[in-house]
Structure 1
Amino acid sequence: MQSLQNLAQLASVDRELFETRIHYMLDLCSQGNIDGIIGYFSEDVSYQMIGNWSMFPYAGPVRGKPAVKLAFAGIFTHFQSLGSTVHDIVIDGDRVAVRRTTILRHFGTGRSDGVAVVDFVRFRDGLVAELTEVLDSLAIARLEEG
Protein backbone atom coordinates (compact mmCIF):
# COMPACT_ATOMS: atom_id res chain seq x y z
CA MET A 1 0.00 0.00 0.00
CA GLN A 2 1.31 3.45 -0.93
CA SER A 3 1.58 6.12 1.74
CA LEU A 4 -0.15 9.43 1.14
CA GLN A 5 3.26 11.07 0.82
CA ASN A 6 4.35 8.57 -1.86
CA LEU A 7 1.09 9.03 -3.75
CA ALA A 8 1.53 12.81 -3.62
CA GLN A 9 5.07 12.46 -4.98
CA LEU A 10 3.84 10.24 -7.83
CA ALA A 11 1.11 12.75 -8.67
CA SER A 12 3.70 15.54 -8.67
CA VAL A 13 5.88 13.61 -11.13
CA ASP A 14 2.89 13.03 -13.44
CA ARG A 15 1.95 16.72 -13.25
CA GLU A 16 5.47 17.76 -14.23
CA LEU A 17 5.56 15.19 -17.04
CA PHE A 18 2.20 16.30 -18.42
CA GLU A 19 3.07 20.01 -18.26
CA THR A 20 6.46 19.42 -19.87
CA ARG A 21 4.90 17.36 -22.67
CA ILE A 22 2.30 20.04 -23.36
CA HIS A 23 5.04 22.65 -23.81
CA TYR A 24 7.12 20.28 -26.00
CA MET A 25 4.14 19.58 -28.24
CA LEU A 26 3.39 23.29 -28.63
CA ASP A 27 7.04 23.91 -29.55
CA LEU A 28 6.84 21.11 -32.13
CA CYS A 29 3.70 22.75 -33.58
CA SER A 30 5.66 25.97 -34.04
CA GLN A 31 8.34 23.98 -35.87
CA GLY A 32 5.76 22.29 -38.09
CA ASN A 33 7.04 18.93 -36.84
CA ILE A 34 3.99 16.69 -37.20
CA ASP A 35 5.94 13.46 -36.65
CA GLY A 36 7.36 14.87 -33.42
CA ILE A 37 3.89 15.78 -32.16
CA ILE A 38 2.44 12.39 -33.15
CA GLY A 39 5.28 10.73 -31.23
CA TYR A 40 3.62 11.90 -28.01
CA PHE A 41 0.29 10.25 -28.95
CA SER A 42 -0.99 6.76 -28.16
CA GLU A 43 -1.69 4.44 -31.11
CA ASP A 44 -5.46 4.78 -30.60
CA VAL A 45 -5.47 8.54 -29.93
CA SER A 46 -8.77 10.37 -30.40
CA TYR A 47 -8.67 13.93 -31.80
CA GLN A 48 -11.42 16.47 -32.29
CA MET A 49 -11.47 20.16 -33.09
CA ILE A 50 -14.55 22.10 -31.96
CA GLY A 51 -15.66 25.37 -33.51
CA ASN A 52 -17.47 26.64 -36.57
CA TRP A 53 -15.53 24.50 -38.99
CA SER A 54 -18.00 24.19 -41.86
CA MET A 55 -15.30 25.71 -44.06
CA PHE A 56 -12.56 23.51 -42.62
CA PRO A 57 -12.58 19.76 -43.33
CA TYR A 58 -10.16 18.60 -40.61
CA ALA A 59 -12.29 19.06 -37.52
CA GLY A 60 -12.76 15.38 -36.74
CA PRO A 61 -13.42 13.45 -34.69
CA VAL A 62 -10.67 11.13 -35.86
CA ARG A 63 -9.08 8.13 -34.17
CA GLY A 64 -5.64 6.56 -34.48
CA LYS A 65 -2.23 8.00 -35.22
CA PRO A 66 -2.49 7.77 -39.03
CA ALA A 67 -5.84 9.61 -39.12
CA VAL A 68 -4.67 12.28 -36.67
CA LYS A 69 -1.45 12.75 -38.64
CA LEU A 70 -3.51 13.25 -41.82
CA ALA A 71 -5.75 15.81 -40.06
CA PHE A 72 -2.71 17.70 -38.74
CA ALA A 73 -1.11 17.65 -42.20
CA GLY A 74 -4.27 19.22 -43.62
CA ILE A 75 -4.27 21.91 -40.96
CA PHE A 76 -0.54 22.61 -41.40
CA THR A 77 -1.15 22.98 -45.16
CA HIS A 78 -3.33 26.02 -44.47
CA PHE A 79 -1.87 27.44 -41.26
CA GLN A 80 1.53 28.01 -39.69
CA SER A 81 1.88 28.24 -35.92
CA LEU A 82 4.16 31.12 -35.01
CA GLY A 83 4.17 30.22 -31.32
CA SER A 84 1.84 29.88 -28.36
CA THR A 85 1.51 31.68 -25.07
CA VAL A 86 0.14 29.41 -22.37
CA HIS A 87 -2.09 31.30 -19.95
CA ASP A 88 -3.33 28.44 -17.76
CA ILE A 89 -2.69 24.74 -17.29
CA VAL A 90 -5.03 22.80 -15.01
CA ILE A 91 -4.13 19.19 -14.22
CA ASP A 92 -6.50 16.75 -12.53
CA GLY A 93 -5.23 13.20 -12.49
CA ASP A 94 -4.69 12.11 -16.10
CA ARG A 95 -6.62 15.07 -17.53
CA VAL A 96 -5.15 18.42 -18.53
CA ALA A 97 -6.82 21.64 -19.66
CA VAL A 98 -4.70 24.27 -21.39
CA ARG A 99 -5.80 27.83 -22.19
CA ARG A 100 -3.50 29.48 -24.70
CA THR A 101 -3.19 32.03 -27.45
CA THR A 102 -1.51 30.80 -30.61
CA ILE A 103 -0.31 33.13 -33.34
CA LEU A 104 -1.42 31.56 -36.61
CA ARG A 105 -0.56 32.62 -40.14
CA HIS A 106 -2.86 31.62 -42.97
CA PHE A 107 -0.77 30.65 -46.00
CA GLY A 108 -3.46 31.64 -48.52
CA THR A 109 -4.12 35.16 -47.25
CA GLY A 110 -0.81 35.85 -45.50
CA ARG A 111 -2.72 37.14 -42.49
CA SER A 112 -1.56 36.32 -38.98
CA ASP A 113 -3.12 36.96 -35.59
CA GLY A 114 -3.67 35.48 -32.18
CA VAL A 115 -6.25 32.73 -31.88
CA ALA A 116 -7.66 31.71 -28.49
CA VAL A 117 -7.48 27.94 -27.98
CA VAL A 118 -8.50 25.65 -25.13
CA ASP A 119 -7.12 22.12 -25.23
CA PHE A 120 -8.56 19.23 -23.24
CA VAL A 121 -6.05 16.38 -23.03
CA ARG A 122 -6.21 12.95 -21.43
CA PHE A 123 -2.98 11.06 -20.91
CA ARG A 124 -2.58 7.30 -20.67
CA ASP A 125 0.81 5.77 -19.87
CA GLY A 126 2.43 9.16 -20.43
CA LEU A 127 1.00 9.55 -23.95
CA VAL A 128 -1.90 11.63 -25.26
CA ALA A 129 -4.93 9.35 -25.56
CA GLU A 130 -7.50 12.10 -26.23
CA LEU A 131 -7.13 15.65 -27.52
CA THR A 132 -10.04 18.02 -28.00
CA GLU A 133 -9.28 21.56 -29.18
CA VAL A 134 -11.79 24.40 -28.93
CA LEU A 135 -10.77 27.31 -31.16
CA ASP A 136 -12.00 30.85 -31.66
CA SER A 137 -13.92 30.33 -34.90
CA LEU A 138 -14.28 34.04 -35.63
CA ALA A 139 -10.52 34.58 -35.37
CA ILE A 140 -9.95 31.70 -37.82
CA ALA A 141 -12.57 33.12 -40.23
CA ARG A 142 -10.85 36.52 -40.12
CA LEU A 143 -7.52 34.92 -41.02
CA GLU A 144 -9.16 33.19 -43.99
CA GLU A 145 -10.82 36.34 -45.37
CA GLY A 146 -9.18 37.38 -48.61
Structure 2
Amino acid sequence: MANQDVRTLVRDMYSAYEARDFSRVGDLIHDDVDWIIYGPKEVFPFVGPRQGKAAVLAALKDIATDYELNRYTPEITLVDGDRAAVMSDVSFTQKSSGRKLRFRLVNFLRFKDGRIVEFREFANTFDLVAQALGRELQV
Protein backbone atom coordinates (compact mmCIF):
# COMPACT_ATOMS: atom_id res chain seq x y z
CA MET A 1 0.00 0.00 0.00
CA ALA A 2 1.31 3.45 -0.86
CA ASN A 3 2.01 5.83 2.02
CA GLN A 4 -0.44 8.39 0.63
CA ASP A 5 -3.21 5.77 0.47
CA VAL A 6 -2.62 4.87 4.12
CA ARG A 7 -2.53 8.55 5.09
CA THR A 8 -5.92 9.04 3.38
CA LEU A 9 -7.38 6.00 5.18
CA VAL A 10 -6.10 7.32 8.52
CA ARG A 11 -7.63 10.75 7.86
CA ASP A 12 -10.95 9.11 6.88
CA MET A 13 -10.96 6.94 10.02
CA TYR A 14 -10.34 9.78 12.45
CA SER A 15 -12.83 12.03 10.68
CA ALA A 16 -15.52 9.33 10.85
CA TYR A 17 -14.79 8.62 14.52
CA GLU A 18 -14.89 12.29 15.49
CA ALA A 19 -18.26 12.59 13.69
CA ARG A 20 -19.44 9.47 15.55
CA ASP A 21 -20.28 7.96 12.17
CA PHE A 22 -19.93 4.31 13.20
CA SER A 23 -21.16 3.09 9.83
CA ARG A 24 -18.20 4.80 8.13
CA VAL A 25 -15.88 3.61 10.89
CA GLY A 26 -17.10 0.06 10.31
CA ASP A 27 -16.34 0.35 6.60
CA LEU A 28 -12.71 1.09 7.48
CA ILE A 29 -12.27 -1.86 9.88
CA HIS A 30 -11.27 -5.29 8.59
CA ASP A 31 -13.58 -8.16 9.57
CA ASP A 32 -10.62 -9.93 11.24
CA VAL A 33 -9.24 -6.89 13.09
CA ASP A 34 -7.03 -7.39 16.15
CA TRP A 35 -7.75 -4.36 18.37
CA ILE A 36 -6.42 -3.41 21.80
CA ILE A 37 -6.96 -0.30 23.91
CA TYR A 38 -4.59 -0.50 26.89
CA GLY A 39 -5.87 0.66 30.27
CA PRO A 40 -7.45 -0.41 33.56
CA LYS A 41 -10.70 -2.28 32.88
CA GLU A 42 -11.94 -1.48 36.41
CA VAL A 43 -12.21 2.19 35.46
CA PHE A 44 -12.74 1.93 31.70
CA PRO A 45 -14.74 -1.25 30.93
CA PHE A 46 -14.37 -0.78 27.16
CA VAL A 47 -10.57 -1.27 27.18
CA GLY A 48 -8.77 -4.51 26.45
CA PRO A 49 -8.47 -6.77 23.45
CA ARG A 50 -11.22 -7.10 20.84
CA GLN A 51 -11.25 -9.57 17.97
CA GLY A 52 -13.34 -8.85 14.90
CA LYS A 53 -15.24 -5.85 13.59
CA ALA A 54 -18.45 -6.47 15.57
CA ALA A 55 -16.57 -6.54 18.89
CA VAL A 56 -14.69 -3.34 18.05
CA LEU A 57 -17.83 -1.47 17.01
CA ALA A 58 -19.56 -2.60 20.22
CA ALA A 59 -16.65 -1.21 22.28
CA LEU A 60 -16.69 2.09 20.38
CA LYS A 61 -20.43 2.42 20.96
CA ASP A 62 -19.86 1.71 24.68
CA ILE A 63 -17.40 4.60 24.77
CA ALA A 64 -19.99 6.85 23.07
CA THR A 65 -22.60 5.77 25.64
CA ASP A 66 -20.42 6.79 28.60
CA TYR A 67 -18.45 9.71 27.13
CA GLU A 68 -19.35 12.68 24.98
CA LEU A 69 -16.59 13.48 22.52
CA ASN A 70 -15.60 17.15 22.57
CA ARG A 71 -12.51 16.97 20.39
CA TYR A 72 -10.36 14.34 18.71
CA THR A 73 -7.55 16.08 16.85
CA PRO A 74 -4.76 14.07 15.24
CA GLU A 75 -1.60 16.15 15.69
CA ILE A 76 1.08 13.89 14.23
CA THR A 77 0.67 11.12 11.67
CA LEU A 78 3.59 8.96 10.58
CA VAL A 79 3.13 6.43 7.78
CA ASP A 80 5.44 3.63 6.70
CA GLY A 81 4.08 1.19 4.13
CA ASP A 82 0.91 -0.41 5.51
CA ARG A 83 1.43 1.01 9.02
CA ALA A 84 0.63 4.33 10.67
CA ALA A 85 1.23 5.96 14.04
CA VAL A 86 -1.04 8.79 15.13
CA MET A 87 -0.74 11.06 18.19
CA SER A 88 -3.96 12.89 19.01
CA ASP A 89 -5.20 15.57 21.41
CA VAL A 90 -8.48 14.28 22.82
CA SER A 91 -11.20 15.70 25.06
CA PHE A 92 -14.24 13.82 26.36
CA THR A 93 -16.94 14.63 28.92
CA GLN A 94 -17.78 11.78 31.26
CA LYS A 95 -21.58 11.67 31.07
CA SER A 96 -22.14 10.24 34.57
CA SER A 97 -20.17 12.99 36.36
CA GLY A 98 -19.83 15.82 33.86
CA ARG A 99 -16.05 15.68 34.31
CA LYS A 100 -13.98 16.78 31.34
CA LEU A 101 -11.08 14.52 30.46
CA ARG A 102 -8.29 15.87 28.28
CA PHE A 103 -5.35 13.76 27.23
CA ARG A 104 -3.08 12.75 24.42
CA LEU A 105 -3.02 9.28 23.05
CA VAL A 106 -1.09 7.34 20.46
CA ASN A 107 -2.52 4.77 18.06
CA PHE A 108 -0.59 2.29 15.98
CA LEU A 109 -2.50 0.93 12.99
CA ARG A 110 -1.82 -1.62 10.29
CA PHE A 111 -3.90 -1.80 7.12
CA LYS A 112 -4.77 -4.71 4.86
CA ASP A 113 -7.02 -4.51 1.81
CA GLY A 114 -7.69 -0.83 2.59
CA ARG A 115 -8.99 -1.49 6.11
CA ILE A 116 -7.58 -1.54 9.64
CA VAL A 117 -6.47 -5.06 10.52
CA GLU A 118 -4.44 -4.21 13.64
CA PHE A 119 -4.92 -1.38 16.15
CA ARG A 120 -3.14 -0.52 19.41
CA GLU A 121 -3.97 2.47 21.63
CA PHE A 122 -1.77 3.88 24.39
CA ALA A 123 -2.44 6.79 26.75
CA ASN A 124 -1.11 7.99 30.10
CA THR A 125 -3.70 5.92 31.96
CA PHE A 126 -2.48 7.07 35.39
CA ASP A 127 -3.43 10.65 34.52
CA LEU A 128 -6.61 9.51 32.78
CA VAL A 129 -7.78 7.51 35.83
CA ALA A 130 -7.16 10.53 38.08
CA GLN A 131 -9.25 12.71 35.77
CA ALA A 132 -12.04 10.11 35.50
CA LEU A 133 -12.20 9.66 39.28
CA GLY A 134 -12.00 13.40 39.88
CA ARG A 135 -9.04 13.29 42.22
CA GLU A 136 -5.28 13.09 42.28
CA LEU A 137 -3.98 9.63 43.00
CA GLN A 138 -1.57 9.33 45.91
CA VAL A 139 1.49 7.23 45.16
Q: Which protein, 1 or 2, shows the higher relative CO under an 8 Å CA cutoff with sep ≥ 6?
A: 2
Once the two structures are TM-superposed, the CA of residue 136 in structure 1 deviates from its matched residue by 2.4
Q: Does 1:126 align with 2:114?
A: yes
> Does 2:76 align with 1:88?
yes
**In 2, are the aligned partners of 1:53 and 1:137 still within 8 Å (CA)?**
no
Partner AA of 2:24 in structure 1? G
Contact 1:30–1:80 under 8 Å retained in 2: no
Query: Which residue pairs with 1:19 in the alignment?
Result: 7
Question: 1:73 corresponds to which letter in structure 2?
Answer: K
Matched, 1:135 2:123: yes
User: Gaps (5+ residues) in structure 2?
Assistant: 135-139
Normalising by structure 1, we get a TM-score of: 0.81
Distance 1:87 1:94 in 2: 20
Which structure shows the higher helix fraction? 1
1:144 Cα deviation after fit:
2.3
In the alignment, the residues of structure 1 paired with residue 115 and residue 5 of structure 2 have an alpha-carbon distance, to the nearest angstrom, of: 10
Matched letter for residue 54 of structure 1 = E
1:102 aligns with 2:121: no
Residue 48 of structure 2 aligns to a residue whose secondary structure is coil
* SS, match of residue 81 in structure 1: strand
Relative to structure 1, the CA distance from residue 77 to residue 107 in structure 2 (aligned partners, 3 Å threshold; closer, same or farther) is same
Question: Once structures 1 and 2 are overlaid, which stretch shifts more, 24-33 or 70-79?
Answer: 24-33
Structure 1 gap ranges (5+): 1-10
TM-score, normalization: structure 2?
0.85
* Amino acid corresponding to residue 127 of structure 1 in structure 2: R
Give aligned pairs, total.
Answer: 134
Alignment partner, residue 57 of structure 1: 45
Task: Please tell me whether the aligned partners of residues 109 and 145 of structure 1 are also in contact (alpha carbons under 8 angstroms).
Answer: no
Query: How far, CA to CA, are the matches of 2:91 and 2:7 in structure 1?
Result: 20
Larger Rg over CA atoms: 1
Could you tell me how far apart the structure 2 residues matched to 1:142 and 1:30 are? 24
How much is the aligned-residue C-alpha RMSD, in angstroms?
1.8
Equivalent in the alignment of 1:68: 56
